[in-house]
Amino acid sequence: MKEIGLYIHIPFCHSKCFYCDFNSHSNMEDRWSSYVEAMIKEFQMKKELLSQYIIKSIFIGGGTPSLLPITQMKKILDYININLKMKKDLEFTIESNPGTLDREKLEFYLESGINRISMGFQAWQDHILREIGRIHTKDDFVQNFKLAREVGFKNINVDLMFGLPNQTIEEWRETLENIVKLNPEHISSYSLKIEDNTIFARKYDKGLLKLPSEEEDRKMYYLAKDILTKNNYIHYEISNFSKNTYESVHNMIYWKNHEYIGVGLGAHSYINKTRTSNLIDMNEYIKNLNIGNEIHIVEEVNSMKSHISECMFLGLRLVKGINIHELNEKYKVDIEKIYEKQMKKLIGEKLLKKEGKYLFLTPKGIDLSNQVFMEFLIE
Ligand code: SF4
């Protein structure tokens, strides 16, 4: 039976972080119940599809899934546990934000099969957390992290951000050094991007955002790499680090361009080389599910050529790179022939390197990764 990843979207947050353009909404407590009911209907609608697969990873993301009360989350988890076929060693993650977790919730997650907690933290300094619109303090995070351990979570991811307004390199160092002391199994470390339609975009346009320079941003990137690898984290993807064997199974599905099914508001799926996305308007999503209508839109049906092109630029995000032999065998193609021109150019410019069956980004290639990925886009 084919394996697949399952993504479940919970689009609720306490308030909106200043940099966030995710599909998340605050002040919608009155919708929690009708949203969960609608999501169960979506699961029922997808029952036949889901029955064709065995689930190898589940990611409940958001938004802030840990904001949902146990009574609501229980409806989702009960449905999953009763109706879906899951792999024995399934990775089952829930995203959370400090300040929204307590012992009761954590124990309930663990009892319901969730075995990985992903915590959005971002920075060690309370003044930075305030300046980026986070609702929690450093102490809230440390308390929640320790509680998750105490309850029994053996696999914890921490999300960090650098290149933040008014953040110094020393503050970034302090963040990294303190996180390392807590010893999570996985750390994601992303550079701030100013996205359209965010509070930061409006401030940026008015010249009111003091961001680290491009040079400082790169220094912060390499500082993370240095500190984390010295502390036994494997740098396995451009922005992700893990202890041995703790790479994120779910994210690997995306980077390897494998199949996944998304459930929930605006959730994306990729099955049979077809990308679909669910309705993004909350009222429409709930209304349509209540009357039994389909709620997804087909965005793209990939040809083999575009599927391979995606495998290239997604796979190159992995530090290990692309296993050319594996791709050739899986898709009955000759990668080195298809991308002869691009590989020659990029290897010549020392942006890519080929060693044995692997093609991967050089350090210079990592710095200029978007430029490299562009070369593999289909014109
Ligand atoms: S908690 Fe996450 S999803 Fe919610 S507003 Fe902040 S960044 Fe966005």
**CATH for 326:** 1.10.10
Query: What are the beta bridge partners of residue 235?
Result: 241
Per-residue exposure over 224-253, b if at least 16 CB sit within 10 Å of its own CB, e if not: bbebbeebebbbbbbbbbbbeebbbbbbbb
Closest atom of ligand 1 relative to the 62 alpha carbon: 3
Tell me whether residue 168 is exposed, middle or buried, using C-beta atoms within 10 angstroms of its C-beta: 0 to 12, 13 to 18, 19 or more. middle
- Cβ burial of 25 (10 Å; 0-12, 13-18, 19+) is middle
Alpha carbon distance 148, 154 (integer Å): 9
Note down the domain range covering 370: 305-375
- Out of 218, 239, 255, a domain closes at 255
**CA–CA distance, 374 with 379 (Å, rounded to integer):** 10
> Of all atoms in ligand 1, which is nearest to the CA of residue 134?
6
Residue to probe by mutation, ligand 1, list 16, 21, 144, 193, most atoms within 8 Å of CB: 16
What does DSSP assign to residue 114?
-
The ligand 1 atom at the shortest distance from the C-alpha of residue 95 is 2
- Examine the domain organization and report whether 313 and 230 are in the same domain: no
The CB of 25 under 6 Å from ligand 1? The reply is no
In a domain, 298, yes or no: no
Check whether residue 152 and residue 40 sit in a common domain. Answer: yes
Measured distance CA(320)–CA(370) in Å, rounded: 17
Neighbours of 78 (CB within 10 A): 12
Task: Indicate whether 17 and 116 sit together in one domain.
Answer: yes
Q: CA-to-CA distance for 41 and 50, rounded, in angstroms?
A: 13
243 domain residue, yes or no: yes
CATH code for position 241: 3.20.20.70
> DSSP letter string over 148-192?
HHHHT---EEEEEEES-TT--HHHHHHHHHHHHHH--SEEEEEE-
348: exposed, middle or buried (C-beta count within 10 Å: 0-12, 13-18, 19+)?
exposed
Note whether 363 and 214 are within 8 A (CB).
no
Task: Give, for all 379 residues of the chain, the pLDDT tens digit.
Answer: 899 999 999 999 999 999 999 999 999 999 999 999 999 999 999 999 999 999 999 999 999 999 999 999 999 999 999 999 999 999 999 999 999 999 999 999 999 999 999 999 999 999 999 999 999 999 999 999 999 999 999 999 999 999 999 999 999 999 999 999 999 999 999 999 999 999 999 999 999 999 999 999 999 999 999 999 999 999 999 999 999 999 999 999 999 999 999 999 999 999 999 999 999 999 999 999 999 999 999 999 999 999 999 999 999 999 999 999 999 999 999 999 999 999 999 999 999 999 999 999 999 999 999 999 999 986 6
What are the tens digits of pLDDT across the range 224-251? 999 999 999 999 999 999 999 999 999 9
Q: Are residues 233 and 320 in the same domain?
A: no
Residue 351 lies in a domain: yes
Atom 5 (ligand 1): residue with closest C-alpha? 16
Same domain flag for 92 and 233:
yes
* pLDDT for residue 379: 60
Determine which residue's CA is closest to atom 2 belonging to ligand 1: 63
Please measure the distance between the N-terminal and C-terminal CA atoms of the chain and give it in whole angstroms.
35
Which residue has the least CA distance to atom 3 on ligand 1? 63
The CA 284 to ligand 1 mean position distance, Å, reads 22
Domain contains 142: yes
Residues 359 and 217 in one domain: no
β-sheet bridge partners, residue 156: 117
Residue 118, CA distances (Å) to 17, 34, 42 in order: 17, 26, 25
Residue 279 tokens, joined: 């309705």
* Inside any domain, residue 358: yes
